[in-house]
Structure 1
Amino acid sequence: MAADIDEQPAGYARLLSAANAAEIAQVAAVIAERRPRHVVFTARGTSDHAALYGAYLTEIRLGLPAGLASPSVVTLFGARPDLSDALVVGVSQSGGSPDLAEVLRAARASGALTLAVTNAPDSPLVDVAELSVDIAAGHERAVAATKTYTAELLALLMLVEGIRAGDGVLPQAEREALDALPELAARTLADGTPAQLAPRYRFARQLVTTGRGYAYPTAREAALKLMETSYLPALAFSGADLLHGPLAMTDPEVPVLAVVGSGPGGRSMGEVLPRLGERRADVVVVGSADVPGATRLAVPEVDERYAPLLDILPMQRLALALALTRGEDPDAPRGLKKVTATM
């Protein structure tokens, strides 16, 4: 897991290389020409959180309605929604889950434009889709996904911005901003704070993660990593949803990881953090925002769209360090396999 985490800056650079960027641009140009009226993502597990990020990007940057499909609607209940005007995107590290392939198969039969975003270009998901994007993350050794998650994020970001451009080619300013990500990721991973923080939560019984907007998928993915590697019950909430009841469960014994950036989503957390303070919750702020008096996992400031590619990195480090501190093996979580086949 440590090796996979460390490879992420190189993975960003690889995906941003001319060859891979050109392939994504070609797919984006085809989608832009087809002009879908809405976008539906389908995914499981870690990839579901990348898909949620893709949905935020789609609605904010493209102005298209977007949502996440429930695969069981197709695979268990036999429904065949009319997706004739949709772009349906399957996001999967392995491309091997039968239910995701079945969703794309049914969507394509109804007239949808289908796209597979995966680390396995020879997978069943790619076989059934009309278009595909290879996230080029390389072999991931650990069961808990790290580098494939961030590669999915970056691929979806490049895809959406390419669709927005119309011809798939990113504007120069956008390209320069993305080209800075490998170095920023390396700088973020060089910070030893997550390992120093891990002993603080060695005996924690549960934990809450929270964030809004682009940060919400990060909160969900961080919770999953903690559950997978440390078996620590972790609940993820949108900052807004946290105020609608779950806030009552927070107290000094329930640590809260709050993802707080400098954009609109981060600023909106300004109403959440004081309420957590009233509950005397043990709060760690993750991100670029400077919150006086708070323990921080600091991340370089970037456009809020890019922040999920950096904010998750210290969370991955924390999950790894916490698992080791608790005497667990993060490379072999009990009961889990690299590829989970569901229907």
Structure 2
Amino acid sequence: MTTTTPYPPDPQAPHNELPGRIMAREMAEQPAVLRRILSQGAPAIREVAEQIAARAPRFVLLTARGTSDNAALYAKYLLEIRLGLPCGLTSMSTTTAYGARPDLTDVLVITVSQSGGSPDLVASTRAAREAGAITLAVTNNPDSPLAGVSEYHLDIMAGPERALPATKTYTASLLTLYLFAEGLRGGTGAPAKVLPDLAERLLARQHEVRTLAARYRFAERMVITSRGYGYPTAKEAALKLMETSYIPALAYSGADLLHGPLAMVDNVSPVIAVVTDGKGGEALRPVLDRLRGRGADLVVIGPRHQVEQASAGFVLPTEEVAEELQPILEILPLQLLAYEVTIARGQDPDAPRALAKVTETR
């Protein structure tokens, strides 16, 4: 069963705010949030990582819903590629609905949740801890029920997020998970120090995104694809577009796109490709060739040379940041795109219909 709990109104918010003003303000806060994590949160993240590394977990299970699930998928790529730790994304209903109790001795269970309040996340984490798991909660609320039932907690330090579409909590979760993964392997996370300034520069290019958004004002369907580290970005971008503009947006791994869904792409089909500069982008290259061959309306978010071969795109400064950090920047123009498309369609991205800030799934 799923119920929704409205987020408390912001007493500071003016009553006559224009549509999308809250989401716009929170997107603009992201560079400051990234700086806060790097300057204030990093020591605590490293300490937790060192304590967990000393316990030598043999496997990692990641648990989340919605936007946080896409952050968890990013963590899966990080932990498997950079640490060689096998990871899985959990199905919470196996414990909450079916009552399964697997042996989780020496397994690290990471639960990612903005609010830390969803009953199924709390129940599955409690069950995991009782089954012998090392439990870590990654939330924006250190006083949440989820933080309370977990052995360890990481605060993503994003501050209150009032718009229903999660923006700053997503990028804050990604950076927190990156620093945690680096801490597990004894790293300092120093390469992430460039992110706040780069994020500021990207968000200042909103006029470019507004031009792209005009392509999708009357779109009836969209496909978003990527591979490797970019795949969580594709899934999060699709979620943002669906929950704000109500455009059905389908996210596929490039490999999966070739196994059937490519048949629905034709010369009027809008496709967005998130191209990381690295091995994921190299693996996506045959997919891009197939999309061009089908005459798809292809927009690329990524390196300049890939954007120049597409119908249009948004150039990312990929040469300034490692592939595993690019998702923290890739999502920014796509958040702006969801915002601009929604405004162009005459809707309010701050308050999508039928949604609430805290979704209580049981």
Provide the TM-score with structure 1 as the length reference.
0.96
Equivalent residue in structure 1 for 2:117, among 86, 90, 96: 96
Deviation at 1:288, TM superposition (A): 2.4
Equivalent residue in structure 2 for 1:329, among 332, 348, 352: 348
| 2: CA distance, partners of 1:261 / 1:20 | 27
| 2: CA distance, partners of 1:55 / 1:261 | 17
The yes-or-no answer on 1:259 pairing with 2:274 is: yes
Deviation at 1:217, TM superposition (A): 0.2
Sequence identity percentage: 59
CA contact (8 A) 1:88 1:115 kept: yes
After superposition, give the CA deviation of every residue in 1:288-338 in whole Å (9 maximum; x if it has no partner): 252233211111112110000000000000000000001111001000000
Deviation at 1:230, TM superposition (A): 0.2
Provide the residue aligned with 2:231 in structure 1. 216
Deviation at 1:69, TM superposition (A): 0.4
Equivalent residue in structure 1 for 2:80, among 59, 62, 69: 59
Provide the residue aligned with 1:315 in structure 2. 334
| 1: CA distance, partners of 2:328 / 2:303 | 12
| 1: CA distance, partners of 2:116 / 2:29 | 21
Provide the residue aligned with 2:214 in structure 1. 199
Which residue identity is paired with 1:13?
R
Question: Measured at CA, do residues 134 and 335 of structure 1 come closer, stay the same or move farther in structure 2, by a change above 3 Å?
Answer: same
| 2: CA distance, partners of 1:22 / 1:67 | 27
Question: Measured at CA, do residues 60 and 289 of structure 1 come closer, stay the same or move farther in structure 2, by a change above 3 Å?
Answer: farther
CA contact (8 A) 1:257 1:284 kept: yes
The yes-or-no answer on 1:3 pairing with 2:25 is: yes
Q: How big is the alpha-carbon RMSD for the aligned residues of Structure 1 and Structure 2?
A: 0.9
Provide the residue aligned with 1:282 in structure 2. 297
User: Post-superposition, which runs of at least 4 consecutive aligned residues in structure 1 deviate over 3 A?
Assistant: none
Deviation at 1:151, TM superposition (A): 0.4
The yes-or-no answer on 1:239 pairing with 2:258 is: no
| 1: CA distance, partners of 2:230 / 2:309 | 21
CA contact (8 A) 1:12 1:182 kept: yes
CA contact (8 A) 2:268 2:297 kept: yes
Provide the residue aligned with 2:196 in structure 1. 182
CA contact (8 A) 1:94 1:120 kept: yes
Secondary structure of 1:77's counterpart equals coil
Which residue identity is paired with 2:248?
P
CA contact (8 A) 1:204 1:253 kept: no
Deviation at 1:133, TM superposition (A): 0.1
Runs of 5+ in structure 2 lacking a partner? Answer: 1-22
| 2: CA distance, partners of 1:3 / 1:338 | 17
| 2: CA distance, partners of 1:317 / 1:114 | 34
CA contact (8 A) 1:44 1:92 kept: yes
| 1: CA distance, partners of 2:343 / 2:243 | 13
| 2: CA distance, partners of 1:136 / 1:5 | 15
| 1: CA distance, partners of 2:251 / 2:304 | 20
| 2: CA distance, partners of 1:38 / 1:293 | 41
After superposition, give the CA deviation of every residue in 1:115-165 in whole Å (9 maximum; x if it has no partner): 000001100000000000000000111000000000000000000000011
Deviation at 1:236, TM superposition (A): 0.3
Secondary structure of 2:185's counterpart equals helix
| 1: CA distance, partners of 2:324 / 2:110 | 19
CA contact (8 A) 2:229 2:276 kept: no
CA contact (8 A) 1:59 1:65 kept: yes
Provide the TM-score with structure 2 as the length reference.
0.91
Equivalent residue in structure 1 for 2:152, among 131, 136, 143: 131
CA contact (8 A) 1:261 1:289 kept: no
Deviation at 1:54, TM superposition (A): 0.4
| 1: CA distance, partners of 2:304 / 2:183 | 29
Which residue identity is paired with 1:2?
A
CA contact (8 A) 1:29 1:163 kept: yes
Provide the residue aligned with 2:180 in structure 1. 159
Runs of 5+ in structure 1 lacking a partner? Answer: none
Equivalent residue in structure 1 for 2:309, among 272, 290, 293: 293
Which residue identity is paired with 1:195?
R
Provide the residue aligned with 1:37 in structure 2. 58
CA contact (8 A) 1:262 1:289 kept: no
CA contact (8 A) 1:266 1:289 kept: no
Which residue identity is paired with 2:356?
K
Higher relative contact order (CA 8 A, sep 6+): 2
